Amino acid sequence: MNFDSYDIGGFYDELFDDSSEPRNFVAPLIKKINTLSKRELKRRRLAADRALKQQGITFSVYGDKQGIEKIFPFDIIPRVIPGSEWDRLERGLKQRIKALNLFIDDVYNEQRIFRDKVVPKNLIKSSSTYLKECEGLKPPKGIWIHITGTDLVRDKDGEFYVLEDNLRCPSGVSYVLENRAILKKTFPDVFHTMKVRRVAEYPDQLYETLMHLAPESSKDPSIVVLTPGIYNSAYFEHTYLAQEMGVTLAQGSDLTVINDEVMLRTTKGFRKVDVIYRRIDDDFLDPQVFNPDSLLGVPGLINAYCKGKVALANAPGTGIADDKAVYSYVPKIIKYYLGEEAIIPNVPTYLCDNKKDREYVLDNLKDLVVKAVDQSGGYGMLIGPKSKKKEREEFKEKIKANPRAYIAQPTLALSRSPTVVEEGIEGRHVDIRPYILYGKDIFVTPGGLTRVALVKGSLVVNSSQGGGSKDTWVLEGDEIPC
């Protein structure tokens, strides 16, 4: 029996309770896996890998001349979330996105929140993600953050926390959909019994979200997905989403701006574009406005955008709200704009820019996680308990040299979930990234991408650093119907 010697190892486990018994709502899944021989388990794992490779569901590894494509490692044991727990998270995410959108709009326009001294003005103005070019900008329908992927983690106490708001170009949603397609083949009967909520409508919802931005004057709006191209690590996802929505996948060189209209170069001549779902970072969008060396973007795009000739999702400048120092203010931001308490709490955060916080951080580096405020993907991080003395000394110097650029958080004991490894099944740390779409309404995909740190004991779940993923099953209710 595969789970006989399963040990939760003192962590919160997603599928097992404190006495290492399966949680009530996962009983059919655990029972099924227990009936499989080790060999059969391995066979199903290899079949899943093979399917990913055959379908070309891969990401490119940067810095490799050969352009090596790797599959994003996939674990066949799903992470399961009972319905009522998810419903609360969904409410919390909607609340957060609504408030953050109001915040961004305020920061670039009226700036009430500075006058009311809720968020210090210099914190915003000193952020590298603040775009002067967006001052006074009124994006279509007042929406800035159309697509968000918020990272949540669960701590030892079983409580979910928001770890990061990814408000720029969050990736990974294609894996949610593909993982589901594969897992339905891996455990069809259990999937059926457990009444799992659907994720398949994401592309339809995304399409509606983008259509919502199209100018009303346009009778047959044209939407494109803008990709940096085939060598981008998320290229598969860009093709996938374009294909699922049936819209054009364009590269910067396919677009040109003529008389402030953004045009596609087609075999039939130039064709106007109304909405761009851009998967290119702000910096590279338009060499006339931002990074002049960018070959990925479209010269004149921002001008066309500011004149309301084309809509962009997400709007430029949204990075200001996922600056990790601004993050620490989000509960206050929610309270300020919505008059509500945050439903999902933040992880306590020390701002190195504050003298008191900084002193604490410098004295306690060994117990803290330090992050650069404007980076993501697991880069620019120090995990105190796993760090070497030399690394800590380096970070001390960096923090002292530029305190605004760093924050620190206590090291969380991330929850674990059973994962197939060489030795059998063991617990591995996980996080979760639900995807939120802001169009006519706010829509949250049930579940999201569960990322798993495959290396034993590791807390880093990023694909660039040895992470894998799991399917996430949000159940219709809390109990399994017998």
In the complex, the residues that contact other proteins under the rule CB under 8 A are 53-56, 230, 235, 239-240, 242-243, 248-251, 253-254, 256, 258, 264-271
Is the Cβ of residue 136 or residue 246 nearer to other proteins in the bound state?
246
Is residue 249 within 8 Å of 224, Cβ to Cβ? yes
Q: What's the CA gap between 96 and 51, in Å, rounded?
A: 37
- Distance in Å, CB of 264 to other proteins, minimum: 6
Please provide the DSSP assignment of 393-462 as one string.
HHHHHHHHH-GGGEEEEEPP---EEEEEETTEEEEEEEEEE-EEEESSSEEE-SS-EEEEE-STT-----
Nearest to 223 by CA among 266, 265, 272, 284: 272
Is the Cβ of residue 71 or residue 334 nearer to other proteins in the bound state?
71
- Distance in Å, CB of 243 to other proteins, minimum: 4
* Beta carbons within 8 Å of 38's beta carbon, 6+ residues apart: 2, 424
- Distance in Å, CB of 218 to other proteins, minimum: 13
- Distance in Å, CB of 397 to other proteins, minimum: 44
- Distance in Å, CB of 253 to other proteins, minimum: 7
For 26, half-sphere exposure in the C-beta direction (CA atoms, 13 angstrom radius) is 23
Is the Cβ of residue 91 or residue 271 nearer to other proteins in the bound state?
271
- Distance in Å, CB of 203 to other proteins, minimum: 12
| 219: amino acid identity, one letter | K
Is the Cβ of residue 300 or residue 316 nearer to other proteins in the bound state?
300
Strands 406-410 vs 368-372: parallel, antiparallel or unpaired: antiparallel
- Distance in Å, CB of 330 to other proteins, minimum: 36
Q: What's the CA gap between 80 and 35, in Å, rounded?
A: 19
- Distance in Å, CB of 269 to other proteins, minimum: 4
Tokens coding 137: 């900008």
Is the Cβ of residue 62 or residue 231 nearer to other proteins in the bound state?
231
- Distance in Å, CB of 263 to other proteins, minimum: 8
Is the Cβ of residue 245 or residue 370 nearer to other proteins in the bound state?
245
Is the Cβ of residue 53 or residue 456 nearer to other proteins in the bound state?
53
- Distance in Å, CB of 77 to other proteins, minimum: 26
Q: What's the CA gap between 297 and 255, in Å, rounded?
A: 9
Nearest to 83 by CA among 13, 19, 25, 142: 25
| 134: amino acid identity, one letter | C
Is residue 272 within 8 Å of 219, Cβ to Cβ? no
- Distance in Å, CB of 248 to other proteins, minimum: 6
Is the Cβ of residue 235 or residue 290 nearer to other proteins in the bound state?
235
SS3 content of the chain, % helix, strand, coil (to 5): 35, 25, 40
Nearest to 80 by CA among 480, 482, 421: 480
Is the Cβ of residue 3 or residue 270 nearer to other proteins in the bound state?
270
Q: What's the CA gap between 68 and 66, in Å, rounded?
A: 5
Tokens coding 455: 């290396």
Is the Cβ of residue 206 or residue 459 nearer to other proteins in the bound state?
206
For 352, half-sphere exposure in the C-beta direction (CA atoms, 13 angstrom radius) is 27
Residue 397 CB neighbours (<10 A): 9
Is the Cβ of residue 193 or residue 239 nearer to other proteins in the bound state?
239
